[in-house]
Structure 1
Amino acid sequence: MSEPEQTADDRTRVFRAPDDTPDAAPRTTPPADPADQQATAVHPVAPTARHDTAPEPVRSVAAADGPGYGVDRPAPETWRPPVDPATTAPAWSTKPVAVRRADTFGALCLLLAGVAAALSLVLPWTPQGPTGLDLARDVVDQAGTDWTGLFDRGLWQPGAVLAGGAVLFVLGLLLLVPARAHRTLGVLALVVAGVVVAAVLVPAHARDWQLADFDLGYFFALGVAGLGLLGALKALLTGPKVR
């Protein structure tokens, strides 16, 4: 009895995998046991803060948002070291101070008054009369014998002019020394200038204000009185300069 003929499909069936057979049922994966599965919780990762951006400003809550609102949240306080006033105070004073300076104009007037008194020594005080130097000698001689005779003979006027001019010249030099104020020197110069003014007005009043009875030396004496009075008032009325 002969075997049935094998087809080409039958001959290659032995080389096929079990899954390649058309009659084989598709393999299915058995369902996994829920107890074997591990539950994994996913946690979100917070973004890392960047240091190159400015922090968000605190929002001011308006009063219309509801009751109990309308007040800004206080900003966090920053600790600072205590301040020592002794280390922060400036080394110099912030109050205005008086500047030391010289009274140039007042000194110039007093110096010119002294120069005028010196020029009156070489000039006659009356037409064809004695010069200031001759009157100065008479004053010294009378003061050495009886000083009360200066008022009887009328020699105190030229003596007051010549001595006052010398004192005013010295006060003019002192006004050139820098100081906050020269009011003390101004008071002294005013007293001396007042004596000189009286010394030149008394003889003019005795001559009924006839200036023709006087010569060039007397007019220089008038210059001593005027310049001395002007310089004294300038030094007396000039206050300190504040800076």
Structure 2
Amino acid sequence: MPDTAAQPKPNAARTPAGKHGEVAYKRVLLKISGEALMGDQGFGLHPPTVQRIAREVKAVHDLGVEICMVIGGGNIFRGLQGSAQGMERTTADYMGMLATVMNALGMQAALEAEGIFTRVVSAIPMDQVCEPYIRRRAVRHLEKKRVVIFAAGTGNPYFTTDTAATLRANEMSCQAIFKGTKVDGVYDKDPKKFPDAKRYDKVTYDEVLQKHLGVMDASAIALARDNKLPIIVFSLDEPGGFCGILRGEGTYTEVHA
């Protein structure tokens, strides 16, 4: 049966937080690294950490926000590292894509344990474990208030999950990308190494590229810039941080035009 989902609306303007009880954005993409799921164990999935992140997503979902996610695979396998150790780059990148599917399935299980209907959508077909990526179907899932987790990157080697996140956010007409990290925003240098590091409240796409601030890779930043898609960088380790920002609270950096 053909998918009959309506075309998504263009990226809408930000709604001021707190106005008539509304949240800042109605549809967002949450991008997190695979390393965020491994806790302190150094490798793989740490179930209590995955469950904690799922509860953060649930708190935002309960506000009525439509959420999709992209999760990296660096806690299991990173294509660039495999390539650097002599593995053929295309093969290494495909292995990294499969790692993101494993992470997506783990997050799906955690979200469903919280009572959130979730779909894993893969750019590489593997019908027995997740859905293939069909844009209109994915939009329909969001409209039905399901959390959609995009896995396997773009389905192509040589592209990072940062680029996949920006691509999917634009395809889904998200109003912002939320990049969950270990720190509460974008700094001019590593705040863990330099106590005098300066945090930006706002920074432009061009500044991120020119100053090599490391928010996302250059392709992802350029794609966000070309489509005027804001990127909100915040600490995923701060309890309630994701939900708080949507309510106009908390500390974060906004990357904008």
> Do the structures match in fold with TM over 0.5?
no
TM value normalised by structure 2:
0.21
Q: Which of the two has higher C-alpha Rg?
A: 1
Larger fraction in strand: 2
Structure with higher helix content: 1
